[in-house]
């Protein structure tokens, strides 16, 4: 764990988009005046004809993306998660998803770890907003390697996708990109006493907590649920058979994200004892990334403590 | 259609039917109803999606689906939904009904067609109440900026929205000045004069695709052709009774 390198998933997105654009002239990218931050600027520089900056107009960007996609293009549209899923929600719902256009919405700066910019910029409800929409697939990769792999796979799969990427760097958890596949959750750490499901940068915190638990004699499996919708039902059921103790950890509101998705799925199919590490019903605030994770109870200690509750 | 459906929007369908008739049967739109997804087709987006009955009538006449389907409008299992839906209805290019979105979609199509190097054109019909939506002006700014000359917006200027006359509710006027300020060219026409509509749309179809987009402000009468529906806010969104239906059909036949 200590020797892991960190890198920026949004850099990985920008570079992957460039690669895709080189191979496929039907790839088009749009942004809403944040291309330097979302890294679509890398694509824009290489393919100015296939890039459209729609200015500070997210609703227009999303519908324009659908219109371009209707001419047979695969359109990536990026901005911050708050503005993409919040401002343009109805455009996403009524045009992109209902109309089933080949639009890949790739949001960066998702979650509380946006940090000092504060609550106006911290999307902690984006997964809820996107998973509730039919036709929409929702992904939250935990590192650069999986970002590259999953963005590439999504580009080869028709229809609407939502990706949420963080602002900061994350540790490179995946070693072998060949083992990562859209729709299939990844077992990162084996353990038969309990399973921790998480996504995004919480996968790393879950691994840290699992080590701590191991020192207490509890072996926790850690699963990277990079694809939140559709959920990997088979793997979830397998884990529930191995141990009926499950913790879900995510950098998102406890309402409507992975916590909700797994609670519903397991309640319907295989009720188990569950605990949740997520942001309770409240807004974020300014602070450093690590201070915020501690403040909102998303750090390894919180995961450890909530995990221990499963054994009481 | 609306009578059998038991609900729908007669006023805004009647105000735009002359424009749609000229678009589809005046040789303006290039389409192949037997191959609805023909890549080089011109695109039409009914941004004011509640006028779906008018669109369905021309699509049926154009051969996209049998005319008897019209009597299934809004019924469970029908391919004709209350508002346009591209997945189910051949000839419908985009889902609309939530006002304010169609111009952005149409502009995306205009950009996409130019990227494909097709000379195809895009026409969108907007309502005058609809243009109170901010998304319309985002799209107008984009199309003006990107010089999307292969895009024409046609405004159904019937002066009515749901809560009353647009000048009383929250007027988007002056309208031509607004489009001009967003770098569009503007033409005003009588939206029921077929000759005038034809001339205007023919010239629209010959415009420089790299030049400014065109806004056609079509002066119309809501409920046109049925005297008791004309210029009446009450006929925005209700179906006629049997008696009213028979009277209306008589008036339209005249
Ligand atoms: C976003 C949105 N808000 C509200 C409505 C409800 N609505 C349907 S039609 C209409 C009035 C539209 O007026 P106008 O654009 O002038 O249409 P027309 O007069 O041509 O029927 C409204 C408010 C809607 N369909 N979409
Ligand atoms: Mg009107």
Q: Which residue of B has its CA nearest to A74?
A: B112
Residue B59 pLDDT > 90: yes
Give the tens place of pLDDT for each residue, A45-62.
999 999 999 999 999 999
- Is residue B142 within 8 angstroms of chain A, CB to CB? yes
Name the burial class of residue A73, with classes exposed (0-12), middle (13-18) and buried (19+) by CB atoms within 10 angstroms of its CB: buried
**Res B80: pLDDT:** 98
Residue B254 CB neighbours (<10 A): 6
Instruction: Give CA separation, A11 vs A37, A129, A195, B53, in Å.
Output: 9, 25, 31, 48
Count of structural domains within chain A: 2
Q: Which ligand is nearest to the CA of B236?
A: 1
Q: How far, in Å, from the CA of B91 to the mean position of ligand 2?
A: 24
Does this model's pTM top 0.95? My answer is: yes
Among residues A118, A140, A171, the one where a domain terminates is: A171
Residue A269 inside a domain? The answer is: yes
Mean pLDDT of A183-197: 98
What range defines the domain where residue A120 resides? 6-171
**Res A3: pLDDT:** 83
- Is residue A152 within 8 angstroms of chain B, CB to CB? no
Mean pLDDT of B204-215: 98
A103, A74: one domain: yes
A190, A299: one domain: yes
Residue A132 pLDDT > 80: yes
Residue A240 inside a domain? The answer is: yes
Share of chain A above pLDDT 90, in %: 98
In the residue annotation, A58 being an active-site residue is answered as yes
CA atoms within 13 A on the CB side of A148: 17
Residue A198 pLDDT > 80: yes
A164, A230: one domain: no
Mean pLDDT of A20-38: 98
Ligand 1 pocket: which of B15, B46, B47, B48 to mutate (most atoms within 8 A of CB): B48
* CATH classification at residue A291: 3.40.50.920
Residue A176 inside a domain? The answer is: no
Distance from CA of A28 to the nearest CA of B (A): 9
Q: How far, in Å, from the CA of A136 to the mean position of ligand 1?
A: 27
A13, A130: one domain: yes
- Is residue B76 within 8 angstroms of chain A, CB to CB? no
Do A231 and A264 contact (CB within 8 A), yes or no?
no
A215, A148: one domain: no
A165, A223: one domain: no
DSSP structure string for A201-269: THHHHHHHHHHHHHHTT--EEEEE--EEES--HHHHHHHHHH-SEEEEEEEEESSSSHHHHHHHHHHHH
A32 CB-near residues (< 8 Å, 6+ apart): A53, A54, A55, A56, A57, A58, A61, A78, A79, A83, A84
- Is residue A68 within 8 angstroms of chain B, CB to CB? yes
Residue B153 pLDDT > 80: yes
Task: Output the ligand 1 site: residues, CB below 6 A.
Answer: B 11-12, 15, 48, 50, 97-100, 127-130, 156, 158, 160-162, 222, 236
Beta-ladder partners of B186: B215
A162, A191: one domain: no
Distance from CA of A67 to the nearest CA of B (A): 4
Mean pLDDT of A11-32: 98
Give the tens place of pLDDT for each residue, A102-124.
999 999 999 999 999 999 999 99
* pLDDT range class, residue B113, cuts 50, 70, 90: very high
Report d(CA B96, CA B85) in Å as an integer. 7
Mean pLDDT of A232-251: 98
Instruction: Tell which residue, A275, A282, A186, A287, has the closest CA to residue A239.
Output: A186
Domains, chain B, in order of start with CATH, read 2-253 (3.40.50.970)
Beta-ladder partners of A276: A248
Ligand 1 pocket: which of B158, B161, B171 to mutate (most atoms within 8 A of CB): B161
A161 CB-near residues (< 8 Å, 6+ apart): A103, A104, A105, A136, A137, A138, A139, A154
How far is the first Cα of chain A from the last one, in angstroms, to the nearest whole number?
Answer: 28
Ligand 1 pocket: which of B53, B162, B222, B229 to mutate (most atoms within 8 A of CB): B162
A298, A275: one domain: yes
Residue A96 pLDDT > 90: yes
Catalytic residue among A19, A45, A58, A309: A58
**Res A107: pLDDT:** 98
Do A302 and A276 contact (CB within 8 A), yes or no?
no
Q: How far, in Å, from the CA of B156 to the mean position of ligand 1?
A: 12
**Res A259: pLDDT:** 98
A25, A154: one domain: yes
Residue A178 inside a domain? The answer is: no
Report d(CA B204, CA B252) in Å as an integer. 29
Mean pLDDT of A233-256: 98
Residue A233 inside a domain? The answer is: yes
Residue A190 inside a domain? The answer is: yes
What are the φ/ψ torsions at residue A149 (nearest 5 degrees)?
-65, -45
Average pLDDT across chain B, whole number: 97
**Res A207: pLDDT:** 98
Among residues A136, A171, A206, the one where a domain terminates is: A171
- Is residue B97 within 8 angstroms of chain A, CB to CB? yes
A39, A98: one domain: yes
Distance from CA of A71 to the nearest CA of B (A): 6
A247, A270: one domain: yes
User: Which of A57, A73, A98 shows the shortest C-beta gap to B95?
Assistant: A98
Residue A180 inside a domain? The answer is: no
Among residues A171, A196, A226, the one where a domain terminates is: A171
* CATH classification at residue A99: 3.40.50.970
Q: How far, in Å, from the CA of B45 to the mean position of ligand 2?
A: 17
Average pLDDT across chain A, whole number: 97
CA atoms within 13 A on the CB side of A289: 14
Reported ipTM exceeds the 0.95 cut:
yes
Beta-ladder partners of A6: A171
Residue A1 pLDDT > 90: no
* pLDDT range class, residue B254, cuts 50, 70, 90: confident
A11, A155: one domain: yes
Do B213 and B149 contact (CB within 8 A), yes or no?
yes
Q: How far, in Å, from the CA of B159 to the mean position of ligand 2?
A: 5
Do A66 and A38 contact (CB within 8 A), yes or no?
no
Do A160 and A185 contact (CB within 8 A), yes or no?
no
Residue A2 pLDDT > 80: no
Minimum-distance ligand 1 atom for the alpha carbon of B11: 21
Residue A208 inside a domain? The answer is: yes
Report d(CA A84, CA A95) in Å as an integer. 14
- Is residue B87 within 8 angstroms of chain A, CB to CB? yes
**Res B195: pLDDT:** 98
């Amino acid at each position: 764990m200590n020797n892991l390198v960190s890198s920026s998933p949004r850099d990985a997105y920008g570079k992957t988009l460039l690669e895709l654009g080189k191979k496929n002239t039907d790839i088009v990218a749009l942004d809403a005046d944040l291309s330097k931050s979302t890294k679509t600027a890398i694509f824009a520089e290489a393919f100015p004809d296939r890039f459209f900056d729609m200015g500070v107009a997210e609703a227009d960007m999303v519908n324009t993306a659908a219109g371009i996609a209707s001419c047979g293009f695969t359109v990536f549209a990026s901005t911050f998660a708050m503005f993409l899923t919040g401002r343009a929600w109805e455009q996403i719902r009524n045009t992109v998803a209902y109309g089933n256009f080949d639009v890949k919405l790739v949001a960066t700066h998702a979650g509380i770890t946006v940090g000092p910019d504060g609550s106006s910029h911290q999307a902690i409800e984006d997964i809820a907003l996107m998973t509730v929409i039919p036709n929409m697939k929702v992904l939250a990769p935990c590192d650069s390697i999986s970002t590259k792999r999953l963005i590439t796979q999504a580009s080869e799969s028709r229809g609407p996708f939502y990706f949420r990427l963080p602002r900061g760097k994350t540790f490179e958890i995946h070693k072998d990109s060949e083992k990562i596949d859209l729709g299939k959750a990844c077992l990162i750490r084996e353990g038969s006493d309990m399973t921790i499901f998480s996504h995004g940068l919480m996968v790393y915190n879950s691994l840290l907590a699992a080590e701590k638990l191991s020192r207490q004699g509890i072996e926790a499996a850690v699963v990277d649920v990079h694809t939140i919708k559709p959920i990997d039902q088979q793997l979830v059921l397998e884990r529930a058979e191995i141990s009926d103790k499950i913790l879900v950890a995510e950098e998102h509101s406890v309402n409507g994200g992975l916590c909700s998705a797994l609670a519903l799925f397991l309640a319907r199919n295989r009720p188990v004892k569950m605990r949740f590490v997520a942001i309770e019903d409240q807004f974020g605030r300014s602070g450093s990334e690590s201070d915020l994770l501690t403040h909102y109870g998303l750090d390894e200690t919180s995961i450890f403590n909530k995990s221990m509750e499963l054994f009481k | 259609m609306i009578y059998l459906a038991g609900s729908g929007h007669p006023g805004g369908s009647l105000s735009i039917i002359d424009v749609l008739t000229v678009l589809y049967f005046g040789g303006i739109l290039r389409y192949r109803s037997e191959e609805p997804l023909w890549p080089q087709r011109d695109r039409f987006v009914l941004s004011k999606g509640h006028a779906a009955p008018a669109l369905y009538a021309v699509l049926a006449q154009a051969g996209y689906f049998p005319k008897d389907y019209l009597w299934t409008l809004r019924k469970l299992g029908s391919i004709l939904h209350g508002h346009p839906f591209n997945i189910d209805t051949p000839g419908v290019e985009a889902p609309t009904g939530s006002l304010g979105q169609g111009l952005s979609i149409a502009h995306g199509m205009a950009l996409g067609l130019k990227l494909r190097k097709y000379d195809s054109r895009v026409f969108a019909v907007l309502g005058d109440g609809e243009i109170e939506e901010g998304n319309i002006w985002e799209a107008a700014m984009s199309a003006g900026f990107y010089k999307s000359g292969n895009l024409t917006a046609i405004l159904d200027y019937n002066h009515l929205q749901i809560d009353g006359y647009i000048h009383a509710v929250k007027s988007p006027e002056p309208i031509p000045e607004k489009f001009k300020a967003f770098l569009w060219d503007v033409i005003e026409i009588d939206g029921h004069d077929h000759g005038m509509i034809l001339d205007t749309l023919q010239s629209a179809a010959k415009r420089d695709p790299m030049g400014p987009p065109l806004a056609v402000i079509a002066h119309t009468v809501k409920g046109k052709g049925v005297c008791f529906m004309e210029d009446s806010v009450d006929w925005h969104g209700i179906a006629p009774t049997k008696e009213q239906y028979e009277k209306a059909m008589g008036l339209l036949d005249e």
